[in-house]
Amino acid sequence: MKKNIKIIFVIFIVSFFFISNQNSSSIIEKTVSLSSIFTLEFETNSWIIQSLDKDFLLLVSKDISSDTVIFHFKPKKTGQTKLVFYNLLKKGTRSFNITISENLNFPAGFSTNYTNQTETTVEPSYFDIAFYLFANGMYDDAITYFIKGKELDSESYARLGEQRVCYYLGICYFNKQQYPVASTYFAISKSSDNKEIKYYSYYYMAKTQLALGNNDLAKDNLLFLIYQLNKEDSLYDNAYFLLSSIYFDEKKYEYIITLLLSRYEIFSKSIFLDYFSYYLAIAYYAGRNDYNNSYYYLCKITSSDFEFYKNAMDLKKLIETNFIDFH
């Protein structure tokens, strides 16, 4: 009974906030002063920045309340730029053409609230409800509505595509730690023509197989993935980190050196840099008895919060004491 009440409530919320994508084409012209901070206020707090040209605008702050969100921007130079916002609940965008001028005097009563635009409400589909539930971590209920959409809304299912729906079902089951079921969905979504869906499917298939203890299958998926990715892709660092971590656990030190050495500089700003440095240090120390290179990468580790920081510093001291002549 409680679950039914919860679902009814969710449907009500989604129905209340859902709008058609027809509204996404609206573009608002706005002129601002180079010397002043300007604000844009939205009457719901579900708006986020989708596109911002940092050469022209700096986000100074964002104020979020239970009902509204206010963005504060500082212009950086004169000219024209486009600013796009996305509504997480209503699935629409709001675009601004921003003209930045040297000096402006705004008339009294000038408004920067742009939420009272004409919007057309429509009944949400099963998939709209499913995506809302998914975004809020309600995976059991999201699965129910993804499957209902697949069975009862053929038009939306065809528009979304089987691979996309299977990807999200796979993520739901992955987060529920039902890995065998998740793998069946990722096996389908891996064939997607959409590169983002395809690459993330390979990545999560690797994590799924790793959770199932199938290291070889996990490595196969990651090896395919890293040869498809460019260094600008969001999964690039994650894929190399996961694969090198598997090699590290398996003590395959030559594989670590082959995988990471030529790309080390690419990872200079990676959140995984300390891991890559530590893996290389251990690979040189334990795999090749190469204490100089091991010491070199140990010196790259600077964060005391790093998981293996103490181990790294202990090994560094050991090498300093026994293997390297600094004179």
| Domain assignment of residue 32, yes or no | yes
pLDDT, one tens digit for every residue, the chain (327 residues): 555 555 555 555 555 444 434 344 468 888 887 877 788 988 887 788 888 888 899 887 777 776 788 888 888 888 899 998 888 777 778 899 998 887 544 333 333 444 444 444 456 788 888 888 888 888 999 999 999 999 999 999 999 999 999 999 999 999 999 999 999 999 999 999 999 999 999 999 999 999 999 999 999 999 999 999 998 888 999 999 999 999 999 999 999 999 999 999 999 999 999 999 999 999 999 999 999 999 999 999 999 999 999 999 999 999 999 887 764
| Tokens representing residue 286 in the block | 């334990």
The strand pair at 57-64 and 47-51 is best described as unpaired
Q: Is residue 5 part of a domain?
A: no
Question: What is the structure's pLDDT at 135?
Answer: 82
Residue 73: inside a domain? yes
Task: Say what the pLDDT of residue 14 is.
Answer: 52
Looking at residue 180, what is its pLDDT?
97
Question: In 3D, which of 59, 98, 96, 49 has the Cα closest to residue 78?
Answer: 98
Give the pLDDT confidence score for residue 293 in this predicted structure.
96
CATH number for the domain spanning 39: value is: 2.60.40.2020
83 in any annotated domain: yes
User: Which one, of 179, 246, 184, 237, lies nearest residue 209 by Cα?
Assistant: 179
Listed in sequence order, the DSSP H helices in the chain are 2-17, 126-135, 139-152, 154-160, 162-175, 179-189, 195-211, 215-226, 236-249, 253-260, 273-282, 288, 291-298, 309-322
Q: How many distinct structural domains can be found in the chain?
A: 1
Beta carbons within 10 angstroms of residue 157's beta carbon: 19
**Which residues are CB-neighbours of 260 under 8 A, at least 6 positions away?**
240, 244, 267, 276, 279, 280
Helices (H) and strands (E) in the chain, counts: 14, 7
Task: Provide Rg for the chain, Cα atoms.
Answer: 26
3-state secondary structure of 30: strand
| pLDDT value of position 327 | 47
Each residue's pLDDT tens digit, 87-131 = 877 777 889 999 888 754 433 333 344 444 444 445 678 888 888
Answer whether residue 55 is part of any domain: yes
pTM of structure: 0.65
- Beta strand 27-33 with 93-101: parallel, antiparallel or unpaired? parallel
pLDDT reported for residue 199: 95
Q: Is 83 helix (H, G, I), strand (E, B) or coil?
A: strand
73, 58 Cβ separation under 8 angstroms: yes
The half-sphere exposure of 109 on its side-chain side, counting CA atoms within 13 A, is 0
Asked whether residue 129 is domain-assigned, the answer is: no
Which range marks the domain in which residue 92 is found? 22-101
Which pLDDT does position 8 carry in this prediction?
52
Give me the pLDDT at residue 45, please: 77
Give the pLDDT of residue 139: 92
> What's the rounded Cα separation, in Å, for the pair 203 and 25?
34
Contact 173, 189 (CB under 8 A): no
Per-residue pLDDT reduced to its tens digit, 138-158: 899 999 999 999 999 999 999
Q: Please tell me the predicted confidence (pLDDT) of residue 114.
A: 42
Q: Does residue 306 form part of some domain? A: no
251: alpha, beta or left? (left if phi > 0; alpha if psi -120 to 50): left
| C-alpha span between 115 and 92 (Å, rounded) | 12
DSSP lists the bridge partners of residue 80 as: 99
- Whether residue 57 lies inside any domain: the answer is yes
Q: Among 247, 309, 250, 246, which Cα is nearest to 277's?
A: 309
- Report how far residue 83's alpha carbon sits from residue 135's, in angstroms, rounded to the nearest whole number: 24
DSSP H stretches of helix in 53-138: 126-135
User: Quick one: pLDDT at residue 23?
Assistant: 42
**Measured CA distances, 175 to 81, 148, 322 (Å):** 40, 20, 47
